[in-house]
Homo-oligomer: A and B are copies of this chain.
Amino acid sequence: MTHRDKVTIEDVARAVGVSRQTVSRVINKGPNVKEAVRERVEEAIARLGYVPNLSARRMGGGRSFLILAVNDRQRTLENWKAGRGNDWVDQMLYGGMTECEKEGYHLVFELIDTDPQLAPVQLSNSIASLRPDGIILTPPHSDNEELAHMLTQRGIPCARIGRRAGTDYVDVFMDEIGAAEEAVRHLLREGHTKLAFLAGSPEYGTSQKRVEGFRKALEEAGLGADAGLVAKANFHFDTAASLLNDMLRGPDRPTGIIADNDEMAFAALHVADKLGLDVPDELAIVSFEDTPGVRFSVPPLTAIRQPTAEMIASACASLIEISRGKDAVGSYELPFRLIERDTTGAQRTRS
Contacts and interface: CB of A to CB of B under 8 A. Distances in A.
A129 B90 contact: no
Copies in the complex: 2
A85 B131 contact: no
Interface residues of A, number: 54
Interface string A122-144: 00110011110000000000000
A115 to B, nearest CB: 13
Given A53-B128, A128-B53, A87 B90 contact: yes
A124 B83 CA distance: 35
Contacts of A266: 296
Contact of A131 (B55, B98, B129): B55
Contacts of A49: 121, 124, 128
Contacts of A221: none
Interface stretch (A104-112, A164-172, A174-182, A226-234): A104-112
B80 A85 contact: no
Interface of A: 1, 3, 5-7, 49-56, 58-59, 64, 77, 80, 83-87, 89-91, 93-94, 97-98, 101, 106-109, 111, 120-121, 124-125, 128-131, 154, 266, 291-294, 296-298, 309
